[in-house]
């Protein structure tokens, strides 16, 4: 008689659930059990308890406060230091933080991650402050400062394989590419500022969606989980800015110039290239999202408001269907929330103003109750079914 999942070690409970789900067979499960038992027999019987979320929160807040303290200390004594002393102090702080992260690597890994992350952030601050020390131009900071900071984050990720380094790399490298493209195009097009905002907004939304949809299977690897969180945090503000940019088109049609076409091609092509590298032959939904975004720019700028709400509702339903196809609950939840916000916005903008005050409030209440119940039923029906382990 097999022991119940509650009496097995934590890794063995996961193994039992994977076997019940059909992800591994009995032979693979037996091999994993034998390997884990051999590994445990060769080590002293000592286990390190998992850190609870308050401890992780304290480490995160402490790391942020430490970074702020370092920057404030340098700023407070900035005028009293010579250029050489400023340069040495900045790099001494960076080296000390990384050495502290190395010292905590075996003692408290979460503290090590925090110190290494603060060290990489401090290196970026040091690059820009060094540019100020030596009176370099602002364009140097955008052209080469961001590149050096991105290379530092890439080196940190390559050497440490820690999530915070990947977060910094996923933000800094696209920022450097966008800034470099903007600086180069500004030299050739005098009307650059009149059209520059929209392609960068569309590219940011596609990049956030690429990060958010990096996992293709129900079980994501650590890299995909980091990208998912980065994309999930960037996607809501990106969609808000996209809606604002699409609803306020330029007063007159802008002539097509080769810098504009080059900007659109690069800014749309780079997120699609990254999507292909992450998903290969399963990147076609992101191409559909690209078409949806481009059509949305035309719908909100020229069509009635009701059609724009309908278009956003279709986009939310598409994201929900995508999550159902790949058994990813976060896409279903995000699509459901987006559909609910779109439905509420349509009621407030198109329906509420045409009714009396009492009827409008009554309808709003019914929308919250009935609409919330219906969307929750729909969300639950679309969520992937997880088999529970039987004792």
Is residue 340's pLDDT more than 70?
A: yes
Q: How far, in Å, CA of 308 to CA of 323, rounded?
A: 23
CA 245 to chain CA centroid, Å, is 21
- Spell out the SS3 assignment of 71-131: HHHHHHCCCCCCHHHHHHHHHHHHHHHHHHHHHCCCCCHHHHHHHHHHHHHHHHHHHHHHH
Nearest to 289 by CA among 261, 317, 325: 317
Per-residue pLDDT, 83: 74
**Res. 385 pLDDT band, cuts 50 70 90:** low
Contact assessment for residue 165 and residue 230, using Cβ atoms and an 8 Å cutoff: no
Per-residue pLDDT, 271: 93
**Res. 197 pLDDT band, cuts 50 70 90:** confident
Q: How far, in Å, CA of 225 to CA of 212, rounded?
A: 9
* Helices 372-382 & 329-346 angle (0-180, nearest 10): 160
Name residues whose C-beta falls within 8 Å of residue 300's C-beta, 6 or more positions apart in sequence.
243, 246, 247, 308, 311
Q: How far, in Å, CA of 163 to CA of 169, rounded?
A: 10
Contact assessment for residue 275 and residue 210, using Cβ atoms and an 8 Å cutoff: yes
Residues 115-133 have pLDDT tens digits of 888 888 888 878 887 777 7
More confident position, 248 or 264: 264
More confident position, 292 or 389: 292
Name residues whose C-beta falls within 8 Å of residue 194's C-beta, 6 or more positions apart in sequence.
250, 254
**Would you state the torsion angle of the CA atoms of residues 39, 43, 46, 48, taken in this order, to the nearest 10 degrees?**
-60
Q: How far, in Å, CA of 75 to CA of 96, rounded?
A: 18
Per-residue pLDDT, 70: 67
Q: How far, in Å, CA of 212 to CA of 164, rounded?
A: 16
Q: How far, in Å, CA of 253 to CA of 315, rounded?
A: 27
**Res. 191 pLDDT band, cuts 50 70 90:** confident
Average pLDDT, the chain: 80
Contact assessment for residue 131 and residue 79, using Cβ atoms and an 8 Å cutoff: no
Q: What are phi and psi of 284, to 5 degrees?
A: -65, -30
CA 169 to chain CA centroid, Å, is 11
CA 303 to chain CA centroid, Å, is 31
Q: How far, in Å, CA of 322 to CA of 334, rounded?
A: 11
Q: How far, in Å, CA of 341 to CA of 333, rounded?
A: 12
pLDDT above 90 coverage of the chain, percent: 25
pTM of structure: 0.77
């Amino acid at each position: 008689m097999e022991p119940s999942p509650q009496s097995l070690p934590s890794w063995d409970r996961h193994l039992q659930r994977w076997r019940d789900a059909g992800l591994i067979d009995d032979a693979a499960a037996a091999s994993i059990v034998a390997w884990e038992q051999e590994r445990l027999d060769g080590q002293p019987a000592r286990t390190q308890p998992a850190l609870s979320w308050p401890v992780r929160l304290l480490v995160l807040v402490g790391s942020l406060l430490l970074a702020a303290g370092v920057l404030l200390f340098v700023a407070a004594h900035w005028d009293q230091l010579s250029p050489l002393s400023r340069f040495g102090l900045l790099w001494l702080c960076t080296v000390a933080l990384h050495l502290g992260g190395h010292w905590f690597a075996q003692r408290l890994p979460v503290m090590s991650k925090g110190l290494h992350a603060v060290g990489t952030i401090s290196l970026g601050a040091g690059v820009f402050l060094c540019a100020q020390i030596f009176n370099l131009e602002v364009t140097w900071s955008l052209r080469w400062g961001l590149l050096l900071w991105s290379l530092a984050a890439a080196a940190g990720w390559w050497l440490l394989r820690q999530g915070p380094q990947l977060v910094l790399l996923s933000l800094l490298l696209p920022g450097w590419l966008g800034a470099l493209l903007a600086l180069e195009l500004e030299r050739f097009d005098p009307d650059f500022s009149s059209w520059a905002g929209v392609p960068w907004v569309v590219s940011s939304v596609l990049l956030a969606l690429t990060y958010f949809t990096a996992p293709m299977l129900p079980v994501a690897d650590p890299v995909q989980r980091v990208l998912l969180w980065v994309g999930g945090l960037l996607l809501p503000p990106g969609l808000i800015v996209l809606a604002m940019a699409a609803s306020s088109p330029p007063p007159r049609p802008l002539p097509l110039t080769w810098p504009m076409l080059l900007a659109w091609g690069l800014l749309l092509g780079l997120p699609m290239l990254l999507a292909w590298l992450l998903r290969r032959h399963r990147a076609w939904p992101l191409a559909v999202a690209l078409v949806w975004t481009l059509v949305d720019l035309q719908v909100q700028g020229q069509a009635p408001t009701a059609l724009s709400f309908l278009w956003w509702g279709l986009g939310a339903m598409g994201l929900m269907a995508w999550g159902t196809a790949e058994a990813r609950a976060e896409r279903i939840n995000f699509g459901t929330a987006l559909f609910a916000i779109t439905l509420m916005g349509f009621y407030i903008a198109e329906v509420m103003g045409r009714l009396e005050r009492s009827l409008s409030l009554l309808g709003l209440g019914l929308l919250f109750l009935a609409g919330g119940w219906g969307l929750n039923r729909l969300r639950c029906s679309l969520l992937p079914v997880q088999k529970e382990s039987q004792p």
